[in-house]
Amino acid sequence: MGLPRTPSFRLDGKRALVTGASSGIGLAAAVALAEAGADIVLAARSVDKLLALEADIAAHGWSATTISMDVTDVEKTAENVAKLGPFDILVNSAGLARHGPALETNTDDFDLVSRTNIKGAYFVTCAVAQGLINANKPGSLINISSQMAHVGGVDRAAYCATKHAVEGFTKAMAIEWGPRKIRVNTICPTFILTPLTQATFDIPERAAWIKEKIKLGRPGEVEDIMGAVVFLASDAASLITGSAMMIDGGWTAD
Catalytic positions: 159, 163
Distances in Å between the Cα of 226 and the Cα atoms of 3, 48, 187 are 29, 23, 10
Contact 113, 96 (CB under 8 A): yes
Contact 175, 130 (CB under 8 A): no
| Count of CA atoms in the C-beta half-sphere (13 A) of 33 | 33
Q: How far apart are CA 205 and CA 179, in angstroms?
A: 48
Dmax over CA atoms of the chain, in Å, equals 66
